[in-house]
Amino acid sequence: MTRAIVSLTLAALSYSVMQMMVQPALPAIQAELGADPAATAWVISAFLLSTTVATPILGRLGDLFGKERVLIVALLVFAAGGVVGAFAPSMGALVLARALQGVGGAVFPLAYGLARDVLPQDRVPLAIAVIAGSFSVGGSLGLILCGPLVDRFSWHAIFVVGLVLPAVSIACVRAWVPPSPARERVQLDWLGALGLTGGLVALLMAVSNGRTWGWGSPRLLALAALGVAVLAAWGRWELGRRAPLIDLRLLARRAIWPVNAVGVLVGFGMYANGYLVPQFVQVDPARAGFGFGASVTGTSMFMLPALLGGLLAGTWAGLLARRFGSKLPLLCGTALMVVGYVGLACWHGATVPFVVMTTIAHGVGLNLAYTAMSTLIVRAAPAEQVGEASGMNTMLRTVGGALGSQVVGAVIAGGVGVSGVASEVGFTACFVLLAALLAVASAIGLLIPRDRAPAAAPVAAPKVVADA
């Protein structure tokens, strides 16, 4: 059984490594492919959109055809993304590679389900804790490996890792993970998946092309209106389904909707930060008058302390939740994220240690918020819908992340001058915007009904989230 746990953890590790590894390399990718910041943001957004849609679909296919088989399919698609990325000659090919890799996000729910299906009951909590912990470990490995690979070889080398890891995972899963016995009849909401994807892509395309087309241009407004209309039609369709992709009625519950609204904004801030920090610290101060001229390896070192700070934050969230309930660590988390963005907006030209401290505040706040949201959703949802409610919260955070990377990419692109260097005003505007949105998240968090964990309840193993 130990080998089965190792195999499932390795599958989850493949996704978490590649989620973080690309982030510090974005400026190098942008420069080599001659792309603008808005186009480069699609490297993040395509990955997140693919994860958003593929995760619930593959989860239900796992119930129908067996989770072990579907897990292998997800890893094969993920590996195919590594092949495309390793040889990508253009930004379009790279975005396709990241969309294929985003399918790998389904490995987490599939791995959790397999752990419940094939392991002895006394080993399941340990297995799930180890698999969940791979998210943070993988994120750290991704940041550490990215710099040396890009600086010594090229950004294409990143995707070789994205091929090797899932290939090894497939071999281990086939050899050591028994097939899942679950074979349930499920309904697949393909039209719902198509509607959600189409509406979000239309909106993101409108945002990313704002600088090129003009923010008031007829075709941009028409594309944005189309996205809104498709999402409205999708909402009506979901309300009429017995087995919807997203149960909108569950989202409307008083104890759930504020948590999900906070989740969208926190996801927005998380992935926007993952785009902004590498771009900012790699700007050459001799040319632009700001930035630190960091290499890709140096960028990884800027981002790593925030992730390591998040390791401690998961434990703090558990201790605070046991004493005061999970609402308090959620509010503390969003407040710390506001502090981090205000610091970056006002003092981003200060010394390297100061900028690192502001990113640590963001990373600690992010993990406090993420851990608290997971607990709040579990306690608020009906027992028979806990898994569905948790999955929806994850999806909404991912949607927020896709929007965040596109919005800040468009703002940065709007400030690029004839020299090809982004303006300091653009970065400052993004940091101010993110601080304001996280302040709104804090205000919404106050609407969450007060919760308090039972005094005798054990504290769950903290889930640590990699700070993108």
pLDDT tens-digit series, residues 248-277: 888 888 889 999 999 999 989 988 888 888
Q: Which of 151-160, 173-182, 290-299, 389-398 has the highest mean pLDDT?
A: 151-160
Q: How many Cβ atoms are within 10 Å of 133's Cβ, its own excluded?
A: 20
Residue 161 has pLDDT above 60, yes or no: yes
Give the contacts of 461 (CB within 8 A, at least 6 positions apart): 125, 129, 132, 133
Give the contacts of 351 (CB within 8 A, at least 6 positions apart): none
Give the integer Cα–Cα distance in Å for 224 and 237: 20
Q: Which of 147-161, 192-206, 246-260, 345-359 has the highest mean pLDDT?
A: 147-161
Write down how long the chain is. 468
For residue 89, what is the DSSP state? -
pLDDT value of residue 186: 62
Residue 437 has pLDDT above 80, yes or no: yes
The percentage of residues in the chain with a pLDDT greater than 70, rounded to a whole number, is 90
Backbone angles phi and psi of 254, in degrees to 5: -60, -35
Residue 384 has pLDDT above 70, yes or no: no
Residues 9, 165 contacting (CB under 8 angstroms):
no
Q: Is the dihedral of CA 383, 388, 394, 396 positive or negative?
A: negative
| 41-72 exposure pattern, b = at least 16 Cβ within 10 A, e = fewer | bbbbbbbbbbbbbbbbbbbbbbbbebbbbbbb
For residue 289, what is the DSSP state? S
Give the integer Cα–Cα distance in Å for 215 and 233: 25
pLDDT confidence of 159, banded at 50, 70, 90?
A: very high
Residue 48 has pLDDT above 60, yes or no: yes
pLDDT value of residue 308: 77
Residue 301 has pLDDT above 70, yes or no: yes
Give the integer Cα–Cα distance in Å for 73 and 4: 18
Residues 186, 244 contacting (CB under 8 angstroms):
no
If one compares 13 and 384, the residue with the highest pLDDT of the two is: 13
pLDDT value of residue 462: 42
Closest Cα partner for 44 from 35, 220, 373? 35
Which two three-digit tokens encode residue 386? Answer: 């806990």
The percentage of residues in the chain with a pLDDT greater than 90, rounded to a whole number, is 32
Average pLDDT over residues 198-207: 86
pLDDT confidence of 454, banded at 50, 70, 90?
A: very low
Residue 88 has pLDDT above 80, yes or no: yes
Residues 39, 164 contacting (CB under 8 angstroms):
no
Q: Is the dihedral of CA 334, 336, 338, 340 positive or negative?
A: negative
Which H or E run contains 386?
Answer: helix 386-414
Q: How many Cβ atoms are within 10 Å of 93's Cβ, its own excluded?
A: 13
Q: How would DSSP label each residue in 122-164?
A: GGHHHHHHHHHHHHHHHHHHHHHHHHHHHHHT-THHHHHHHHH
Mean pLDDT of the chain: 84
For residue 379, what is the DSSP state? H
Give the integer Cα–Cα distance in Å for 464 and 135: 7
Q: How would DSSP label each residue in 302-314?
A: HHHHHHHHHHHHH
Residues 365, 337 contacting (CB under 8 angstroms):
yes
Closest Cα partner for 12 from 120, 136, 117? 136
Residue 132 has pLDDT above 90, yes or no: no
Q: How many Cβ atoms are within 10 Å of 103's Cβ, its own excluded?
A: 25
Range scoring the smallest mean pLDDT among 68-77, 177-186, 445-454: 177-186
pLDDT value of residue 448: 92
pLDDT value of residue 358: 87
Residue 456 has pLDDT above 80, yes or no: no
pLDDT value of residue 185: 64
pLDDT in tens, 210-238: 767 887 899 989 999 999 999 999 999 98
pLDDT value of residue 458: 42
pLDDT confidence of 286, banded at 50, 70, 90?
A: confident
Residue 435 has pLDDT above 90, yes or no: yes
Q: How many Cβ atoms are within 10 Å of 319's Cβ, its own excluded?
A: 12
pLDDT value of residue 118: 85
Residues 413, 37 contacting (CB under 8 angstroms):
yes
Which two three-digit tokens encode residue 40? Answer: 């480069």
Give the integer Cα–Cα distance in Å for 107 and 104: 6
pLDDT value of residue 418: 53
363 three-class SS? helix
pLDDT value of residue 467: 47
Whole-prediction pTM value? 0.80
Average pLDDT over residues 93-118: 89
Give the contacts of 46 (CB within 8 A, at least 6 positions apart): 95, 96, 98, 99, 102
